[in-house]
Structure 1
Amino acid sequence: MANVKQTKLKKVKMAERAAAQMEIHFPEYPEEWVWRRGSNNGFTTLPRSLPIAMQAVDCQTKGKPAGHTLFCLWARSPDHPLIVIENQATFAGEAGFQGARAVDTWRRRMKVLKQHRFIDTKPGTSGEFHYVLLLNPNVAVENMRRQNMIQDELYGRFIDRVAEIGAMTDLNSIRKHWEDEEKNAERVAEKIAPKKRSRKTTKKVE
């Protein structure tokens, strides 16, 4: 599994290789047509596994896919996990919903994303989805797998991609978190059990 230093080195090598290939296949291409993150404005940072995460949520919402709605949220992210939505109609339109029920359709998709832990939300002046917290899509997909919501083929591609981009630490961290939660729940249950038995014994004596 690649560590952070190895992942950064891999990115540099990939960029150098891409630059060399561009010189061969697209020499002297007009810069006006080329998108360069370092010089073009209007960008944000996206998880590289997002396309597979979008597929995962779409598989759970057949006929009412919510993946594109998720992408539009990330595209609006100010490189920070919190988005403040003051005009829901704008987000609904960018997600491709039109007509009188556009916002209602968008809200239903947002509820699906919240249900599957791709986002969390708090109400505000614009309604239920005024404050939107973008959650780690790698963790959300792993959570869906934990609940048997993802088929082996898609999950296999997800694991390959996560390993490729050096993000397996996300999955290891959430698995450890869940393990700790289960252990804590067991400890609480063990503490409560003797008290329940004691109460039953007291009632019998009375």
Structure 2
Amino acid sequence: MATLKGKAVRSKDIELRDTYFEDAADRLWDRAKHHGFATVPKTMPLLMRALDELSKGKPLGQTYFALFCATWDNGFVRLGRSTDLPYASGFTGARGIRGWQERMKLLESFGFVEIKASGDQKFGLAFLPNPNIVLLNLWEKKKAQGKGPYDPLGLGGLQDSTMSAFLERAIDVGANDVTRAHAKINAAKRKADETQDMPAKPIKARPRRTKAAKE
């Protein structure tokens, strides 16, 4: 549900749009009127950039976007029925299918997709967890691993500038999944720091009992 601030911004944007673009309301693509759409987070362009950074030389952004658009707002894809996925991801021919499968395995290694076999199809079913949270967790993992070695491989390619832009965009659009998860991570860090800074309690040595005391 949109916030009051979001509704106000949207109303002003529509007023400004109609001032400069004639009959815009009749010529745009409107999800309230047209079918066949997927709900995409506004952080998606930066998510795609981050995916390409994670897999240097083997861009993942387009493959992931095609996969995301194959869902019905349920995070689930029957890969065997989506025969156009490799093509939509930029791959053609027999080699192209192998290239697409390679990208899918990379997406799985980073946690952006979970793949299950279906019958004799190794790539049969797919589930896409919240990509905002997956990316945020990868960022925290990279920071925890310092200068490496990185696990998973490719984590070192994730850029500070991209993550800063991602977090800023998440805040701008009111992505509460990101802001809540980020606040939870920061709270856990503060608690860990406070525990580490607490002085250790001295261990009191028990007085040794003499033979006379025992009697």
Equivalence map 1:4-83=2 (5 Å): 8-29=3-24, 31=26, 33-83=27-77
Does residue 1:160 correspond to 2:168, yes or no?
Answer: yes
| 1:21 Cα offset (Å) | 1.1
What secondary structure is seen at the aligned counterpart in 1 of 2:94?
coil
Map of 1:86 onto structure 2: 80
Q: For each residue in 1:63-84, what CA deviation from the matched residue of structure 2 results, as whole angstroms up to 9, or x when unmatched? A: 2101101000111111111111
**C-alpha spacing 1:160/1:130, structure 2 compared with 1 (3 Å):** same
Structure 1 runs of 4+ off > 4 angstroms? 174-177
Distance (whole Å) between structure 2 residues aligned to residue 160 and residue 95 of structure 1 = 28
Moved more, 168-177 or 154-163: 168-177
- CA-CA distance at 1:99 after TM superposition: 2.0
CA deviations over 1:75-102 (Å, ceiling 9, x no partner): 1111111111224642101111012211
Matched, 1:120 2:114: yes
Query: How big is the shift at 1:144?
Result: 1.7
Q: Give the Cα separation in 1 of the matches to 2:3 and 2:53.
A: 32
Cα distance, 1:61 vs structure 2: 1.3
Q: Which has the higher helix share?
A: 1
Query: TM-score when scaled to structure 2?
Result: 0.72
The whole-number CA distance in structure 1 between the counterparts of 2:171 and 2:181 is: 14
- Residue in 2 that maps onto 1:203: none
Structure ID, larger Rg: 2
Does residue 1:95 correspond to 2:103, yes or no? no
Identical amino acids, percent of aligned pairs: 27
Q: Report the equivalent of 2:196.
A: none
CA distance in 2, matches of 1:130, 1:100: 17
What are structure 2's unaligned runs of at least 5 residues?
Answer: 143-154, 193-215
80-89 vs 134-143, which moves further: 80-89
TM (normalized to structure 1)?
0.75
How many residues are paired up?
174
**Aligned-residue CA RMSD (Å):** 2.4
CA deviation vs aligned residue, 1:34-55 (integer Å, no higher than 9, x gap): 2111112221111111111111
Unpaired stretches in structure 1, ≥5 consecutive residues: 184-206
Q: CA deviation at 1:29?
A: 4.4
Q: 2:159 maps to what in 1?
A: 151
